[in-house]
């Protein structure tokens, strides 16, 4: 697959190279245009990677432009979060940070120009009437009674709209195109509406705001964008994009190209639904590690490198499809396997007393931090008479081929000694509360002194030196592949996974983790990859989030591709 990525171009790259070859453009200039009405999710990263990636590959520029033409839903909180996400993903817009509201005066002038050309009119129909007059996919629309107002009357009414003389929804400005067009987007679309709401940047200067379909091509033109790259739902909007540029006689106009959206199973990508999950308390916030938001993925421990790799593997096409969440997990596992130090953490501890080990003795073992990166060196891991192992690593009556600790059974403690079970204690319910064992002092370092085979190797933590930690085990937020696949009368929230978060409050980790920084990532041996929580973890109360387990069903698939 990597070889294919080096030699095959996607259709956008082919378009860009042809434009450069023919001289249609001298320099590639793209833009990433998020709307500041929520947090970016992983679906947005595809557009981000394409917009910034294409510009970078061909030595061009990419602007960050906030589409802030809807004051009712926008907030500076989202602006700051989006900027943080983009930078975390490794992309640089340098000094090219713009806002749609920067161009309010110019866009207003363009609207005046359309009116003067007889190509726009003020309409008194309300939202429901406009929808009714628009027609259907099989029936043409019909003209508004106000469609033939004079240019002078339209100019007067539009200025009065701007001056606040009318209430929200009382009047709109529409482009005059073709009410019988087979493309419903061309049936006199609304290009300005009244919204008497405070704007997070312009305050109360404006009470009319342009629609995205009108503002978008003009903002692209003002900034000198050459390739306006959009998701596939804008295909039917492209004729309108081109119509505005043509009628306003824009020189060297930008061109719009569409690519498929990123859909992923077991999650939702709708901002409305994600906001509902936050506002109604189904998750702890936009940065809940179960959320597909970039801040949620970052808090959980995903790396920007793994997300970019995932986008590369998904590819760029014109056909919508659904990617497998397991592929994203493969990408972060592949990345962390190379970069994350190995440590020992016992999530569900069971105490073991090694009865023949001296009571007051403590010794240390030199343990490799990362076998993939020998330059990471080693660390000291203490060992003592009492240790913790996983509850699952001991069974009284195990099945066949169980190679962990059992009565009279022997296992290797990772990097330490062989131990053999000599007894155990249980509570009134039959649950094992303590295991007793002996160790072989000649097996230091886990090496067999006499050639005997010990098939099981388990991890452990010295009880005397262990640090208490809370470990949060995350799973899919939804229990079905398509959360929106619901029976009539149902709700997508009916598909929420009740086991998407399991909290282990009494976990034990080795002392090398005493002063770890928030956001640090580790592989807990045999358990998976974990990240120090960036919000709740404190030196005196460590919290680890499980990023992903060790099992990788995608590894062979990707290698063979």
Residue listed under structure tokens 């990677």: 49
CA angle (76, 82, 85) in 5-degree steps: 145
Torsion of CA 305, 311, 314, 320, to 10 degrees: 160
Can you tell me the distance from the alpha carbon of 391 to that of 346, in angstroms, rounded to the nearest whole number? 9
3-state secondary structure 365-403: EEEECCCCCHHHCEEEEEECCEEEEEHHHECCCCCCCCC
Catalytic residue among 96, 142, 247, 261: 261
Catalytic residue among 13, 17, 35, 372: 35
Can you tell me the distance from the alpha carbon of 214 to that of 107, in angstroms, rounded to the nearest whole number? 8
Residue 437: strand pairing partners: 354, 421
Q: Which two tokens stand for residue 8?
A: 């095959």
At 174, is the secondary structure helix, strand, or coil?
strand
541 closest CA partner among 465, 469, 473:
469
Q: What share of the chain is helix, strand, coil (3-state, %, to 5)?
A: 30, 25, 40
Can you tell me the distance from the alpha carbon of 306 to that of 81, in angstroms, rounded to the nearest whole number? 20
Burial class (CB in 10 A: 0-12, 13-18, 19+), 110: buried
Burial pattern 488-512, b for ≥16 Cβ within 10 A else e, equals eeeebeebbeeebbeebeebbbbbb
Q: Which two tokens stand for residue 45?
A: 């990263």
65 closest CA partner among 79, 45, 49:
79
Residue 369 CB coordination number (10 Å): 18
35 labelled catalytic: yes
Measured in residues, the chain has a length of: 561
- Cα distance between the two ends of the chain: 5
271 labelled catalytic: yes
At 251, is the secondary structure helix, strand, or coil?
coil
Q: Which two tokens stand for residue 98?
A: 């713009």
Can you tell me the distance from the alpha carbon of 337 to that of 332, in angstroms, rounded to the nearest whole number? 8
Task: Give the DSSP letter string of 508-558.
Answer: EE-GGGTTPPTT-EEEETTTEEEEE-TTT-BTTBEEEEEEE-S--SSHHHH
Q: Which two tokens stand for residue 419?
A: 């131990």
Catalytic residue among 61, 65, 255, 271: 271
Residues 211/69, Cβ–Cβ less than 8 Å: yes
Query: How far, in whole angstroms, is CA 511 from its chain's centroid?
Result: 32
Task: Give the DSSP letter string of 123-141.
Answer: E---HHHHHHHH--SSS--
261 labelled catalytic: yes
Indicate which residues carry an active-site annotation: 35, 261, 271
């Amino acid at each position: 697959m990597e070889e294919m990525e080096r030699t095959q171009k996607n259709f956008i790259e082919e378009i860009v190279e042809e434009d450069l070859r023919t001289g249609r453009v001298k320099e590639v200039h793209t833009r990433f245009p998020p709307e500041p009405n929520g947090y970016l999710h992983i679906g947005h990263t595809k557009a981000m990677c394409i917009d910034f990636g294409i510009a970078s590959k061909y030595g061009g520029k990419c602007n960050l432009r906030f589409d802030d033409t809807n004051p009712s839903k926008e907030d500076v909180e989202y602006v700051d979060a989006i900027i943080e996400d983009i930078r975390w993903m490794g992309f640089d817009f340098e000094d090219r940070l713009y806002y749609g509201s920067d161009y309010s005066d110019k866009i207003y002038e363009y609207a005046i120009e359309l009116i003067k050309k007889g190509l726009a009119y003020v309409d008194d129909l309300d939202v429901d009437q406009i929808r009714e007059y628009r027609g259907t996919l099989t029936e043409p629309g019909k003209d508004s009674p106000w469609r033939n107002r004079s240019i002078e009357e339209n100019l007067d009414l539009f200025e009065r709209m701007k001056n606040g003389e009318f209430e929200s929804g009382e009047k709109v400005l529409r482009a005059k195109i073709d009410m019988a067009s087979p493309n419903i987007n061309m049936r006199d679309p609304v290009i300005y509406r009244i919204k008497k709401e405070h704007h997070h940047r312009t305050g109360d200067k404006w009470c009319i705001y342009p629609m995205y379909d009108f503002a978008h091509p003009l903002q692209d033109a003002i900034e000198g964008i050459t390739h306006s790259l959009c998701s596939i739902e804008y295909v039917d909007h492209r004729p309108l994009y081109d119509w505005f540029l043509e009628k306003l006689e824009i020189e060297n106009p930008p061109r719009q190209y569409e690519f498929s959206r990123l859909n992923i199973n077991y999650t939702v990508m709708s901002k409305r639904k994600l906001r509902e999950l936050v506002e109604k308390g189904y998750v702890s916030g936009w940065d809940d590690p179960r959320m597909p938001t970039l801040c949620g993925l970052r808090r959980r421990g995903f790396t920007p490198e793994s997300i970019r790799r995932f986008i590369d593997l998904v590819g760029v096409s014109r056909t919508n499809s659904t990617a497998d969440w397991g592929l994203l997990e493969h990408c972060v596992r592949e990345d962390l396997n190379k970069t994350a130090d190995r440590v020992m953490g016992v999530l569900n501890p069971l105490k073991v007393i090694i009865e023949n080990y001296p009571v007051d003795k403590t010794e240390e073992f030199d343990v490799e931090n990362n076998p993939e990166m020998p330059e990471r060196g080693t660390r000291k891991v203490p060992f003592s008479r009492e240790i913790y192992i996983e509850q699952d690593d001991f069974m009284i009556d195990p099945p066949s081929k169980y190679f962990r600790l059992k009565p009279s059974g022997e296992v290797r403690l990772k990097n330490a000694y062989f131990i053999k079970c000599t007894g155990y204690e249980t509570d009134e319910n039959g649950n094992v509360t303590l295991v007793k064992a002996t160790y072989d002092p000649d097996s230091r370092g886990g090496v067999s002194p006499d050639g005997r085979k010990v098939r099981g190797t388990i991890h452990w933590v010295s009880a005397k030196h262990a640090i208490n930690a809370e470990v949060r085990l995350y799973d899919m937020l939804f229990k079905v592949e398509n959360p929106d696949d619901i029976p009539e009368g149902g709700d997508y929230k009916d598909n929420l996974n009740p086991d998407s978060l399991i909290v282990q409050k009494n976990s034990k980790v080795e002392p090398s983790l005493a002063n770890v920084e928030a956001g640090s990532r580790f592989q807990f041996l045999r358990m998976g990859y974990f990240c120090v929580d960036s919000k709740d973890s404190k030196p005196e109360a460590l919290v680890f989030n499980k990023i992903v387990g060790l099992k990788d069903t995608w590894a062979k698939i990707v290698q063979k591709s």
